[in-house]
Amino acid sequence: MINKIIYDGKEKHVYLVKPNGKRMLLKNDLSSKPIISPNKRLAAFISPFCWECMSNVYVVDLYNGKVSNVYNWEYSKTPKYIKWYSNESLLVIIGETYGTVSIGGDLYSLNIKSKKLEVVKKFPEYIQITSFKLNENIIEVYGIRYIDNIYNEHILYKDSFKY
């Protein structure tokens, strides 16, 4: 039988719920809301999920309950946003871990089986991508664009491209 995954939005914790109802805390850190793979077999989440934290992307197999860290990030880089692209790959926004300017980052593809990380699109330093939507083979990215030299003032940014 399949396990369930639930998210406690108040405490920001992710739990695996066994078919018998027993709940198991997956990470004792603030975590992002888990996302379910297209085939509904896997769930992925970021933990810890807070400002200036070295974070990891975890994938949970909902059939056997196994939790795995899918990539070891560079010291100064951290995942900030994830979405499933296929049953074997995630699209990930990866940005600087530290610094008040780095609220977003660049877009990468991460194969969860091979653990291969590839650049989908890099953005200039003055553009910070914070989220995206998938519409078939089009990716719409959202974020901010700094409009001054000291990265203090910004406007909303939106772009789209084929993937």
State both tokens at 22: 């027993």
Give per-residue pLDDT as tens, 46-72. 998 877 778 899 999 999 999 999 887
Give per-residue pLDDT as tens, 65-118. 999 998 877 778 889 999 999 999 999 999 888 766 567 899 999 999 999 999
Task: Name 96's bridge partners.
Answer: 77
Half-sphere exposure of 140 (CA within 13 A, CB side): 5
Task: Name 35's bridge partners.
Answer: 44
